[in-house]
Amino acid sequence: MPRMSHPHLPRVPISLDEYNELYTLVFEELDCDDEYPLGTSISLDPSCSEVDVYRKLPSSPRIEYGGYITAESIQYWEGDAESVIIEQNKLCTWHSHPVTHPWADLPSWIDLHRFLRYPNVRHILVGNRLLWVMDKDEDTVAYCRRLLEWEAANLTSTFSSILDTAKARDARSDDVWCEATQMYAITVLREIGWDSVKDWPDQLERDPLSSSVSLLREQLGIAVRLYLRLSHTAGTNLS
Ligand SMILES: [Zn+2]
């Protein structure tokens, strides 16, 4: 993962060797070897500001998009209504929620779990009205380490148990796997210290522009900046 100096790309928060070691210390091989669909590319003008790059990220009323950002371009592909494959070992990754979803403007439990669990250093969530720019810094690395070490000891047994419970409750449902994945993410985030993790969706009814940002910093060590998506608000940093 190279170091880059483009403003829309993050810097690895610790030495590259240490960072790579963190993400291979616990799991010998990262399980992010999905087959990636053929994507689309948007070229970036070098004069584009950081937030204006993120404002080019596409979204749809009904499906998720996801991909990654390089120095020169945005790469992306389509997902479905609930998820999209993300190439998690890229420096700067992103995904968009369907804008009509009631929780479009909030990262999901699975989004937060995956951000800490995989080596991407920055992840941008494109919501309906908001852009969430989530970064890992030195403080975040401690939470990543805690999560990875917990998973090394508990992932298989915990996920199996959650999956069995979900199947027993509704054996016919096609959504059992999705439900178990979400419940697993909630479990892991609670295990690494987020006591009120279940209350997270209520943030949208409270004050997402300040309390959500400080909550993610305090509970998961994630550095968040929020921006409005609309171009007429260019440069407005709501954090
Ligand atoms: Zn999401």
pTM summary value? 0.89
Average pLDDT (81-106) is: 92
Strands 122-126, 92-96: pairing is parallel
Structure tokens at 96: 């968009």
The domains of the chain are located at 16-233
Q: How far, in Å, from the CA of 107 to the mean position of ligand 1?
A: 5
- Ligand 1 center to residue 73 CA distance, Å? 22
In tens, the pLDDT along 23-55 reads: 887 666 555 555 666 789 999 998 899 999 999
Residue 94's pLDDT band (boundaries 50, 70, 90)?
very high
Looking at every residue in the chain, the average pLDDT score rounds to: 87
Q: Where are the alpha helices (DSSP H) in the chain?
A: 16-25, 50-54, 109-117, 138-169, 176-191, 211-220
The pLDDT of residue 210 is 81
83 CA to middle of ligand 1, Å? 7
Can you tell me the mean pLDDT for 197-207?
83
Q: Vertex 235, ends 231 and 237: CA angle to 5°?
A: 115
User: What is the model's pLDDT at position 107?
Assistant: 95
CA of 200 to the centre of ligand 1 (A): 13
Length of the chain: 239
DSSP 8-state class, residue 169? H
**Taking 80 as the threshold, does the pLDDT of residue 115 lie above it?**
yes
